[in-house]
């Protein structure tokens, strides 16, 4: 598609010129209507195609008798559209780097329970693998990124780096996603019958992956979860749902000693129900209570700045370091892709005070854009895409100026967030063997890891 530079010819048409052209056609209604439609199509194709951040416009043009009045309104409208196009293209041209963190695609259950009426053979993909829906969602997410950032990204995968959790569902997701994002074009085509090219993907053993895997070895993170369970809020959840836990344990044959187990049971049942498999008679009467307990898992865990530090600190540090390299002129990498899990998404957004406290759907993506303005100031814009059929939301990070967050503020120099560069000692695991690890420990000063818990007043805008 045409770039923002190509579109300048359209944008340089003055507001007065557009209005005069419209007035000249006012005496010829048929020509005028045709011209208005043509102008509209041209503006939508040329002005917005390459600047996907502009919302899709769908204006209608009814035939009215007061042609001159309508013409005046239309002239103002066209001027506004052209002005918005200029602003959006200017914003697009400032883009310097992208980080996309996303949850794997729709998957099968990670495990079945002892009294489950279904069996692993009911899931031909294998337990814990992505489904056909998950593959389609991930491919479409890749295609979405390709279209949205068409003027920023080339078709050369060497301009990007891909990192995945070592779980099969994440590796499957990132491969499918990259197939949509980087199809071979030009000299990259190696087989005319295959619209795919290999793209390098980095990963590591899950036990050691403190950046992307939710259960990487980190005793301090587990200690924090134990503290949350034993807190007044946590104890109240467990005590008020003790009967539910006992009932679930008896009927499922699986030990139920905390809300995470109840959430996992609901997860399995939900997937089985969506596939039309057998659901035990006891499940539906308990569904509502299981859902409430699952919500507590989401709310209580990510209210903890300490837990968010251990599960998102390395990821945020990586993003900040990459952005600093661009700012210092030491990196040409345009895109970093991270295939992760719901915990990474929830902890990451919670660390910046923008988590919506809802379960993270499969294929949810958080897009962090690094921009540079005309004065060489670098800033961040964060987008949240939790629906594969809708455009993302822009997130307003508390402490920032609207939807624009200076890189300095994003780095955590403000009073409400932790400096990610200090998190390395707080999230540390051995690089030798799984099971051989150093315990995670906070920084020596003990007070530098306070992450804002501010979650109220978050504004969302379609983007």
pLDDT, tens only, 371-422: 999 999 999 999 999 998 899 999 999 999 999 999 999 987 333 344 444 4
173 shares a domain with 65: no
408 shares a domain with 396: yes
How much is the pLDDT for 246? 97
Contact 180, 191 (CB under 8 A): no
| Pairing status of strand 365-372 against strand 378-385 | antiparallel
How much is the pLDDT for 434? 36
123 shares a domain with 103: yes
> Which ranges in 329-403 belong to alpha helices (H)?
342-351
89 shares a domain with 102: no
Residue 407 structure tokens: 């890189």
Question: Which three-class secondary structure state does DSSP give residue 248?
Answer: helix
Residue at which a domain ends, from 266, 299, 332: 299
Residue at which a domain ends, from 35, 63, 93: 93
User: What's this model's pTM, rounded to 2 decimal places?
Assistant: 0.74
243 shares a domain with 199: no
356 shares a domain with 254: no
Structural domain includes residue 221: no
- Residue 254 pLDDT more than 80? yes
- Residue 111 pLDDT more than 60? yes
115 shares a domain with 89: no
Give the number of domains in the chain. 3
Mean pLDDT of 341-348: 97
Give the whole-number percent of the chain exceeding pLDDT 70.
Answer: 69
456 shares a domain with 357: yes
How much is the pLDDT for 168? 98
| Pairing status of strand 460-462 against strand 95-103 | unpaired
Contact 128, 167 (CB under 8 A): yes
């Amino acid at each position: 598609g045409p770039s923002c530079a190509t579109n300048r010819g359209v944008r340089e048409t003055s507001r007065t010129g557009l209005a005069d052209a419209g007035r000249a056609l006012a005496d010829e209604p048929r020509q005028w209507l045709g011209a208005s439609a043509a102008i509209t199509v041209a503006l939508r194709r040329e002005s917005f195609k390459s600047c996907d951040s502009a919302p899709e416009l769908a204006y209608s043009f009814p035939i009215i008798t007061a042609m001159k009045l309508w013409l005046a309104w239309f002239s103002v409208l066209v001027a506004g559209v052209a002005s918005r196009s200029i602003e959006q293209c200017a914003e697009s041209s400032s883009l310097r780097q992208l980080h996309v963190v996303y949850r794997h695609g729709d998957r099968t259950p990670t495990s079945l329970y002892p009294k489950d009426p279904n069996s692993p053979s009911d899931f031909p993909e294998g337990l814990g693998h992505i489904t056909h829906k998950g593959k389609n969602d991930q491919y479409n997410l890749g295609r979405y990124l390709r279209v949205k950032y068409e003027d920023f990204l080339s078709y050369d995968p060497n301009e990007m780096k891909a990192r995945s959790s070592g779980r099969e569902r994440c590796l499957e997701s990132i491969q499918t996603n990259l197939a949509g994002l980087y199809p071979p074009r030009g000299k990259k085509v190696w087989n005319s019958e295959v619209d795919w090219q290999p793209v390098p993907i980095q990963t590591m053993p899950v036990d050691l992956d403190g950046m992307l895997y939710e259960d990487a070895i980190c005793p301090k993170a587990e200690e924090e979860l134990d503290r949350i369970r034993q807190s007044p809020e946590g104890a109240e959840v467990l005590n008020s749902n003790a009967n539910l836990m006992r009932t679930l344990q008896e009927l499922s044959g699986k030990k139920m000693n905390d809300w995470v187990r109840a959430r996992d049971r609901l997860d399995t049942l939900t997937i089985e129900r969506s596939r039309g498999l057998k659901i035990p008679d006891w499940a539906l009467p308990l569904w509502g209570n299981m859902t409430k307990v699952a919500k507590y898992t989401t709310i209580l865990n990510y209210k903890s700045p300490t837990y968010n530090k251990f599960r998102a600190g390395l990821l945020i540090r990586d993003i900040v370091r990459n952005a600093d390299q661009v700012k210092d002129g030491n990196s040409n990498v345009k895109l970093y892709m991270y295939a992760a899990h719901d915990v990474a998404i929830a902890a990451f957004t919670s660390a910046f005070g923008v988590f919506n406290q809802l379960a993270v759907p499969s294929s949810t993506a958080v897009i962090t854009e690094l921009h540079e303005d005309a004065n060489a100031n670098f800033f961040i814009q964060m987008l949240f895409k939790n629906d594969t059929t809708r455009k993302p939301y822009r997130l307003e990070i508390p402490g920032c100026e609207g939807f624009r967050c200076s890189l300095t503020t994003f780095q955590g120099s403000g009073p409400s967030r932790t400096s990610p560069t200090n998190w390395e000692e707080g999230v540390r695991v051995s690089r030798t063997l799984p099971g051989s690890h150093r315990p995670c420990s906070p920084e020596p000063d003990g007070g530098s890891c306070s992450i804002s818990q501010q979650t109220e007043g978050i504004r969302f805008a379609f983007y």
